[in-house]
Amino acid sequence: MNKDFPLTGIGSVAMHAAGHEHAEYAHLTPIFATSTFTFDSAQQGSDRFAGADKTRIYSRWGNPTFTAAEKTIAALETFGLKNPDGSQLEVKALLHASGQAAMTTLFLGTLKAGDTVLSHYSLYGGTYELMNKVLAATGVHTILIDMHDLNLVEDTIRKNTSIKLLHIETPANPTIQCVDIEAVSGIAKQHGLLVSVDNTFATPYLQQPFRYEVDFVFHSTTKFLNGHGTAIGGVLLGRDLALMNTAMWKWHVLLGGNSNPFDAFLLGQGMKTLELRMDRHCDNAMKVAEYLSAHPAIAHVNYTGLASHPDHAIAARQMKHPGAVMSYELKGGLNAGKKFTDALQMCIRAVSLGTVDTLISHPASMSHLSVPKEEREKYGITDGLIRMSVGIENIHDIISDLEQALAKA
């Protein structure tokens, strides 16, 4: 594809951003299943190590199949975004083996002993544990607050001069609480902090944090970006190209959390249909939320697409659509939750989210089984709560399955 041909749709960018100039005129990016790359001569080896020759050296440091996926994600996250001088915004992406690996590079690359990371209290469990176990062990502190309160954000930053990074996950896993990216990052920037956003639930199709003064965007690519549940993966994107190419790259390479060619290929394939999938995921989710809201067995539907959700306005402001993950509470409690889950005929019983098929889990009997009831209820994980990642099946089949399962709950 001609690099100067202006693509006007994000769906076209998803398919063509990585380019098609491959060995042997292959249409798709080949799976470069090779750990190392050869040198023609000692001089060529020297040139590559000196950086004069940009050809690969070793796959932990980068591999063409990773690069293809990285280019696509970077293009999606910056689609339509300009620098103040009107030029296209460019960011650098580093593909990792998992979301957790990418998060580790982010935290260890930006924080050192004595520093503090500030975050909203509703966070993915793995991020929370990384902060409390790994970062804590390296002497990095974590402060969690309710970032709906902008005065509290400002106050906390003023009182804690060791805060270096403000990390937000919006929508948050699993509560789908939203944080106002523009407002919160605006405050952080007045105080010279770095800002990172976990954009996993939204994807760049629904939300582009680089629109605001955000330094890093993170994804667990395991979810909607891959879209088919075929591979674990993560990506860290950064606006400061020099920093990404030096310090952050170094941490990434030394920590060893690189991706692998097969998973990177699967991710590259999955992302090509992001727009199409997300449109269908979102349409279906809204219909499911409306159906469940009117159902007599349901006490409450937690979905930012509904005007009843406290973060409805934030989601509407910064997201193209509220997305496809929701939770709802069965009036019948623990027993109803189990019976409903068991009665499902088509929807898949599994944790994770963002796959083409609908995934449903019952946290009280599954992921939060070992968390005491009083503890989990503080986070809204009640006995009858069901979590659902709405898939792209035909809406009639999703609703029929819910209907027959609710009748048995």
Ligand X SMILES: *Cc1c(COP(=O)(O)O)cnc(C)c1O
Closest distance to ligand X from the beta carbon of 127 (Å): 6
Binding segment for ligand X (CB under 6 A), chosen from 217-225, 272-280, 306-314, 385-393, is: 217-225
Complex with ligand X: residue 222 or 341, whichever CB lies closer: 222
Contact 30, 258 (CB under 8 A): no
Q: Which of 235, 196, 230 shows the shortest CA–CA distance to 219?
A: 235
Among 78, 119, 222, 318, binds ligand X (CB under 6 A): 222
Parallel, antiparallel, or unpaired for β 116-120 and 163-169?
parallel
How many amino acids of this chain bind ligand X (CB under 6 A)? 16
Q: Which of residues 169 and 311 has its CB atom nearest to ligand X in the complex? A: 169
Q: Which of 3, 9, 2, 32 is nearest to 268 (CA)?
A: 32
Q: 225, 197 in Cβ contact below 8 A? A: no
Give the CA distances from residue 299 to residues 55, 159, 174, 296, 302, in Å, rounded to whole numbers and listed in that order.
59, 41, 18, 8, 10
Give min distance, CB of 305 to ligand X, in A: 18
Smallest distance from ligand X to CB 355, Å: 12
Give 110's contacts (C-beta < 8 A, 6+ positions apart). 164, 165, 194, 196, 216
| Least distance from ligand X to the Cβ atom of residue 174, Å | 8
The token pair that represents 160 in the structure block: 């804690």
What distance separates the 2 farthest-apart alpha carbons in the chain? 75
Residue 2: how many CB atoms within 10 A of its CB? 5
Is 263 an interacting residue with respect to ligand X (CB under 6 A)? no
- 252 interacts with ligand X by CB under 6 A: no
Going through 135-267 in order, the beta strands assigned E by DSSP cover: 141-145, 163-169, 194-198, 216-220, 234-238
Using alpha carbons only, give the angle 280, 291, 407 rounded to the nearest 5 degrees: 120
Contact mark string toward ligand X, 114..153, x via CB under 6 A: ----------x-xx--------------------------
Closer to ligand X by CB, 223 or 252: give it.
223
Query: Which long-range contacts does 280-283 make (Cβ < 8 Å, 24+ apart)?
Result: 280/392, 281/224, 281/323, 281/324, 281/390, 281/391, 281/392, 282/206, 282/321, 282/322, 282/323, 282/324, 283/395
Candidate segments 68-76, 139-147, 197-205, 377-385, binder of ligand X by CB under 6 A: 197-205
Q: Which residue is nearest to ligand X (CB)?
A: 99
Q: Does 200 bind ligand X (CB under 6 A)?
A: yes
d(C-alpha 137, C-alpha 395), whole Å: 47
Helices (runs of H) and strands (runs of E) counted in the chain: 17, 12
Q: Which of 78, 104, 220, 304 binds ligand X (CB under 6 A)?
A: 220
**Residue range at the interface with ligand X (CB under 6 A); choices 9-17, 95-103, 150-158, 396-404:** 95-103
Residue 258 binds to ligand X (criterion: CB under 6 A):
no
177 near ligand X (CB under 6 A): no
Residue 232 binds to ligand X (criterion: CB under 6 A): yes
Query: Does residue 204 bind ligand X (CB under 6 A)?
Result: no
The correct pick among 173, 207, 208, 361 for binding ligand X (CB under 6 A) is 173
State which residue, 89 or 348, has the beta carbon closest to ligand X.
Answer: 348
Q: Kind and range of the H or E element at 260? A: none
- Among 64, 99, 268, 384, the residue binding ligand X under the rule CB under 6 A is 99
Candidate segments 147-155, 220-228, 297-305, 315-323, binder of ligand X by CB under 6 A: 220-228
Angle among Cα 172, 224, 260 to the nearest 5 degrees reads 110
> Least distance from C-beta 269 to ligand X, angstroms?
17
User: Which residues contribute to the site for ligand X (CB under 6 A)?
Assistant: 98-100, 124, 126-127, 169, 173, 198, 200-201, 220, 222-223, 232, 234
